[in-house]
Structure 1
Amino acid sequence: MEAFDQGLVLGVLIGEGHFGGDGRQPQVTVRMHTRHEALFRTLVELVPGSKLYGPYQHGGRSYFQWMVRGALLRETLVPMLDALPLERIDAHVYERYSDMKARYQL
């Protein structure tokens, strides 16, 4: 992945990412308004194997949801995030990310 593209993915994850899981496997999720569809399509291109869901209509909101799970998460996103000084950049995101890693033994 080119440096700019990697920075784009990481910036979206830091700003909008949710680090969690379904109880069996970890997942990283980004949920935003449908007006960001082009950005979501770009994320799918940059992270082959990631999934885009939606658009959803719920509670007067219209949104897409982008998800990364499984080997793709472990082998692609985790190493990218681990290479960042995430704790210094955003302590709250670092805590959520660290909790996901601990909970799912990443």
Structure 2
Amino acid sequence: MATFEEGLLLGVLIGEGHFGGDGKQPHITVRMHTRHASLFSTLLDLCPGSKLYGPYEHGGRSYYQWMVRGQVLREQLVPRLDALPLQRIDEHVYERYMDMKQRYSI
């Protein structure tokens, strides 16, 4: 992944990312308005094997949800994120990310 793409991915995750899980497996999700469809296409390209769900309509809002979990999360995305200076850039997001990793033994 080139420097620009790393920065784009990190910026999206800092601004919109959710680091959690379903109790059985961890996941990272991004949920945004459907007008960001081209950004979601880029995320799919940057993280092969990730999934895009939607569009959903709820409460007058139209959105997509991008999700990374399972082998793709553990073998592709986590090593990429671990190599980036997330802690230096945003301590709060770093703590949420590390909490997810700890809860799910990544």
Tell me the TM-score range normalised by the shorter chain: over 0.9
Equivalent position of 1:38 in the other structure: 38
Equivalent position of 1:86 in the other structure: 86
Paired letter, 1:102:
Q
Paired letter, 2:50:
S
TM-score after normalising by structure 1: 0.94
TM-score after normalising by structure 2: 0.94
Output the CA distance in 1 between the equivalents of 2:27 and 2:44: 15
Q: Structure 1, unaligned stretches of length 5 or more?
A: none
User: Equivalent residues in 2 for 1:16-31 (5 A)?
Assistant: 16-31=16-31
**SS, match of residue 55 in structure 1:** strand
Matched length:
106
**SS, match of residue 78 in structure 1:** helix
Larger mean CA deviation between 71-80 and 95-104 belongs to 71-80
- Percent sequence identity is 75
Is 1:63 the counterpart of 2:74 in the alignment?
no
Paired letter, 2:83:
A
Q: Structure 2, unaligned stretches of length 5 or more?
A: none
Equivalent position of 1:47 in the other structure: 47
Is 1:96 the counterpart of 2:90 in the alignment?
no
